Amino acid sequence: MAIKAPNNGWWRGGVIYQIYPRSYQDTNADGIGDLPGITQRLDHIAALGADGIWLSPFFKSPMKDFGYDVSDYRDVDPMFGTLNDFKTLVARAHSLGLRVMIDQVLSHTADQHPWFVESRSSRTNPKADWYVWADAKDDGNPPNNWLSIFGGSAWQWDTGRLQYYMHNFLTSQPDLNFHNPEVQQAVLDDVRFWLELGVDGYRLDTANFYCHDRQLRSNPGRGQPDGEDPAVNATNPYGWQRHLYDKSQPENLVFLQRLRALLDEYPNTAMVGEIGDDDGLARMAEYTGLGPDNQPMLHMAYCFDLLGTKKDATFLHALFSRFLSVVGDGWPCWALSNHDCARLATRWGGTDPDGRLLRLAAAMQMTLRGTPCIYQGDELGLPEADVAFEDLQDPYGITMWPSFKGRDGCRTPMPWSQAEPHAGFGPAKPWLPVSPAHVPLAVDLQQAAPDSLLAFYTQLLHWRRDQHALLHGDMTLQTSHPQVLAYERSHTIGGHTQRLACVFNFSAQPATWPMPTGWVQASAHNLGLASATVQDQHLVLQPWGGWVASL
């Protein structure tokens, strides 16, 4: 058994900045962002105060799903650069004190991956059982009712093998068979390849999708969902099933133990798993605990619960109350946006987002128990881009149009400079158009404005680094209030206890909140939130106002 390497726990409370490589910076004038472009812009992330970066996939791929369909796990796609470019990026990031986490898409490959090309060639080849193959029913239909997230059946007929293969996503993304020990070992060898190149960890795509039910039992129905769950797209029939058998199987936990043991061979590494499940919080608790062999699994679980449209104080209080009771000691990774959902400014702020709300949301995210994850451009307050149908690239959006416009609106290029072509993203026409609404929010303009949202984020992240109650402490919710979310963060180190009061008015009206005994003499931190004042043992908060204070 390998010796466990030391781990300094940088990830526990560190801020992660997500980069979508296609849209960050284009340096070779092909309209697509690349690894040298990311390297060029790492100073922006370091200055912001982030502790690490998460790179969405840059591996060799036919790009049917923009890199989430991998055809070679050990190489960089030429559109993004070379392996040497990646090594340069890692070296530069480390010199700036930034950790590098990379996306690992392990549940499925591209149909152009050599493994699948061989697997589909016959029923008797050495990799015949490396993917999920099944015979048709007597009437020719698929073996069960499992659905693809991207619409339609999760089974695709192959005319060579005269069998169906499983795909949770596009038909060009066949699912690997993790019940085969050879598959698990091959995947672990590919993960080790990048660890040897110096990566500090992984964001695991669809971390609960690795194993399926061996008996291929059909999922039970649930009826049309009401659309309140941020993890469910109510226009997609995928949400009409209870996914008891197509994912989140017990064998999944055994593989995660093996994956964690591999990371533990390398110092100061971490992994965060994306867990999409009918009960995400319960699954987070399971996946961040100990596995069947009493061994650890995920360091962190990526939380989807703030990626919906609901933001009222009652909803937030109920969410965090259930989180604290269900997940317990499990460590969450809180995101307000990512490359798969509408941007925060539009989702929570509507067509004309209030800057006070965006500051309040950031302050809440940075004071929650867990690891915050910022999606590129949220520090600028970018709204969702309005992408015309003829400019759409996302197959998900093209299929579901017009009820669901897909994910292109949150994936448009990063605006760096107001005056340069395409807002400084690059000289060539970008793969998605730069939104005109993003140009006035460009980095260079906000860097020059001391009252900008970028300046607020920068101050907030640098202040947060010195608050050990936020990095490591417990979280205690206060009484529910229709307008106000309030909680205390506390941590004891070296005999000294730090306590922070966090109070946020998640409404467009002023709010009066009765302060608990002992909070009246608190010393407020000037973070730049909308004002709050103490009057007669009550806290009076302006619309979208917040108050963070030392107790």
Catalytic positions: 205, 265
Tell me the C-alpha distance between 481 and 509, whole Å. 14
Q: What is the DSSP letter of 296?
A: B
Long-range contacts, stretch 83-90, CB < 8 angstroms, 24+ apart: 83/197, 85/34, 85/35, 85/36, 85/39, 86/35, 86/58, 86/197, 87/197, 87/198, 88/35, 88/36, 88/39, 89/35, 89/36, 89/38, 89/39, 89/42, 90/197, 90/198, 90/199
Tell me the C-alpha distance between 370 and 15, whole Å. 9
Q: Which two tokens stand for residue 395?
A: 């197959």
Tell me the C-alpha distance between 100 and 425, whole Å. 22
Beta bridge partners, 534, equal 539
Residues 6+ apart with CB under 8 A from 285: 326, 327, 328, 330
Q: Which two tokens stand for residue 212?
A: 């399926």
DSSP string covering 345-412: HHHHHTTS--HHHHHHHHHHHHHSSSEEEEETTGGGTPPPP---GGG---HHHHHHTTT---SGGGSS
Nearest to 259 by CA among 274, 270, 249, 248: 270
- The neighbour count for residue 301, using CB atoms within 10 Å, is 28
How large is the C-alpha radius of gyration of the chain?
23
Residues 6+ apart with CB under 8 A from 6: 267, 268
DSSP SS3 for 215: coil
Cis check for the bond before 353: say yes or no (omega within 30 of 0): no
H-type alpha helices, 96-174: 114-119
Q: N- to C-terminal Cα distance for the chain?
A: 47
H-type alpha helices, 425-464: 443-447, 453-464
Tell me the C-alpha distance between 36 and 80, whole Å. 8
Q: Which two tokens stand for residue 169?
A: 């996503």
Residues 6+ apart with CB under 8 A from 31: 426, 428, 429, 430, 431
Give CA torsion, residues 437, 443, 445, 446, to 10 deg. Answer: 100
Tell me the C-alpha distance between 18 and 378, whole Å. 10
The owner of tokens 């100990």 is: 290
DSSP string covering 84-114: HHHHHHHHHHHHTT-EEEEEE--SB--TTSH
The owner of tokens 């499990």 is: 330
